[in-house]
Amino acid sequence: MYTKKVTIINEEGMHMRPAQLLTEKAGQFSSEITIHADEGQAADAKSILGLMSLGLDKGTVVTLTAEGGDEKEAVETLAKMFDQGFGEL
């Protein structure tokens, strides 16, 4: 298992566009990838509905967790997307 904390920096939080980009990228990995919000909620990173249900706002810290053969690459790739604001900055 590999984990990393990231902060949502997008002005509008995790809205439809970044959620779609994230689920598309997560789907390219074989590992199971989960996003854990600080409030104890979690969602499958490959599920756009799951991500949207978390209601993640700007400034929210989430933990990316992956388990599988490509877990480190998956988490680091997705963390980079968060750090770059999903291309919206």
| Active-site residue (options: 2, 4, 9, 15) | 15
15 part of the active site: yes
Burial of 50 (0-12, 13-18, 19+ CB in 10 A): middle
Strands 32-37 and 61-67, by their bridges, are antiparallel
The pair of three-digit structure tokens given for residue 50, joined into one six-digit string? 């799951």
Catalytic residue IDs: 15
